[in-house]
Amino acid sequence: GDSVTQMEGPVTLSEEAFLTINCTYTATGYPSLFWYVQYPGEGLQLLLKATKADDKGSNKGFEATYRKETTSFHLEKGSVQVSDSAVYFCALNGRANQFYFGTGTSLTVIP
């Protein structure tokens, strides 16, 4: 069945460090891929998405490229800020329009 695996956290980085959060997926067909962000006490918010192979989603300095050959959608940011501290979820839209989420990666950025 469809599933998403993302790197476990927590991840702690210093401000201005480079961020990578790994995400791989298993799916039949050609799913759309998403990254969501969850700030403390809030619901999930869409961060970026990619709908087909080789697409690059980007938003607020974050990027992720849909790699069909490696079934991956890794999240990257060149220079993180304290305000980026949150939990990040990788997700895919699979069969019957059901979403499958990874377990989440907690990021803490220290000044």
Q: Which residues contact other proteins (rule: CB under 8 A)?
A: 31-32, 34, 36, 41-46, 49, 51, 89, 93, 97-99, 101-104
Q: Are 72 and 23 in contact (CB under 8 A)?
A: yes
CB of 15 to other proteins, least distance (A): 27
Nearer to other proteins, 42 or 69 (CB): 42
CA 4, chain centre distance (Å):
10
Long-range contacts formed by 60-65: CB under 8 A, 24+ apart: 62/35, 64/23, 64/33, 64/35
CB of 111 to other proteins, least distance (A): 27
Nearer to other proteins, 14 or 103 (CB): 103
